[in-house]
Amino acid sequence: MLVVPLLNKYKKYLTWFYRTLGFLQTAGKFSFLFLLMILFNLYELAYYVPGVGKLSKSQTYLGTYWFNLGLMAVGALVLILIAGLIHRFVDRKSKFNIINFLETSFPELKTRLSTAYDNRKNINIVTKKLLEDVHGQLTGINIKKMVPKNQIFRYFLIFLLAAGAVTFCIHEGFSFDISPSQLIDDMRDNIPNMNARAAYDENEKVAPDSRYNIEAVIIKNGDQVEMKINPSLGLGFTSQIDADTEQKFNASSDRLNEEFRQSQTYSENLPEEYEPLIKQYFEALSS
């Protein structure tokens, strides 16, 4: 039966330190969130909540600056509470259990300690021997080594730095030149423009350039063949026109009926059937 009082003693001793650790963790998170809200002027988001703007104008106890700081402090506290509730709901086994803690820290106590504790009221020769052995092992434990000193110091340092930064920002009125409400308003204004632009792009139809899709009917081997040619493919001539050809195209329309003279960029290796097609293309290009 000596096992139970010893476990309760260890539990009270360690619980105090772990509660201190939990407090420092929460305080550090709160200070860090509060600092972010101050730096990025997140109090502006609170004014989107109905009634906050009216409350700010009607209250006379605080100035606007301190009222906005209060809004950010409340926002950070609400976020911490929500995160804590989610953590409790997800990890329901997070409650401190002295037996699991000791068995994890000391492998020689694994299963023995929990078995002895479960049979603390079932006293017989076997359980009595087990309780005596487990009590001897618990007595030899240096429980002070189980205190999370490093974690306590680390979170205390984080809290100290975050709280110091918050104090500096409040005293100097320092924050970044960022306006969340302006960003939200700009996004709201841009959404209709983006939708209108998307609708315009979907409905817009680009008229094809008739110069690049010239249809022609030629006779080859006694059959009529419909042909199309795209000059960008480089079939029969290059993508540039020499000076002589350009001068011919810039002449008056009276000279269009003159005999077509072959351009220097024209390939002589083309079949004769292409000559009417090319002539028609250049006539359409010069018109």
Range of the domain at 142: 3-184
* pLDDT at 239 > cutoff 50: no
Query: Has residue 71 been placed in a domain?
Result: yes
In terms of Cα–Cα distance, which of 257, 238, 237 is closest to 248?
257
Residues 149 and 274 in one domain: no
Residues 238 and 175 in one domain: no
Residues 61 and 175 in one domain: yes
* pLDDT at 256 > cutoff 70: no
Each residue's pLDDT tens digit, 100-115 = 999 988 888 888 999 9
* pLDDT at 197 > cutoff 50: yes
Each residue's pLDDT tens digit, 16-58 = 999 999 999 999 999 999 999 999 999 999 998 899 989 988 8
| Chain length of the chain | 287
Mean pLDDT of 143-167: 95
- Domain count for the chain: 2
Residue 97 is predicted with a pLDDT of 87
Residues 163 and 29 in one domain: yes
Kindly indicate the confidence band of residue 269, based on its pLDDT and cuts at 50, 70 and 90: low
* pLDDT at 130 > cutoff 80: yes
Each residue's pLDDT tens digit, 214-232 = 455 555 555 665 555 444 4
Is pLDDT larger for residue 186 or for residue 211? 186
Kindly indicate the confidence band of residue 150, based on its pLDDT and cuts at 50, 70 and 90: very high
Q: What is the 3-state secondary structure (H, E, C) of 170-226?
A: HHHCCCCCCCHHHHHHHHHHHHHHHHHHHHHHHHCCCCCCHHHCEEEEEEECCEEEE
Query: Has residue 201 been placed in a domain?
Result: no
Each residue's pLDDT tens digit, 271-281 = 666 777 777 77
Residues 59 and 140 in one domain: yes
Mean pLDDT of 141-165: 94
Mean pLDDT of the chain: 79
Residues 173 and 220 in one domain: no
Residues 277 and 162 in one domain: no
In terms of Cα–Cα distance, which of 275, 274, 287, 3 is closest to 137?
3
Residue 90 is predicted with a pLDDT of 83
Residue 220 is predicted with a pLDDT of 55
Residues 59 and 104 in one domain: yes
Q: Where are the alpha helices (DSSP H) in 40-144?
A: 43-46, 52-58, 64-90, 98-105, 112-118, 125-139
Mean pLDDT check: name the lowest of 106-115, 171-180, 238-247, 277-286. 238-247
pTM of the predicted protein model? 0.62
5: which 2 tokens?
Answer: 């009082």
Spatial separation of the C-alpha atoms in residues 159 and 28, rounded to whole Å: 4
Kindly indicate the confidence band of residue 238, based on its pLDDT and cuts at 50, 70 and 90: very low
Mean pLDDT of 250-254: 51
Residues 105 and 162 in one domain: yes
Mean pLDDT of 148-167: 96
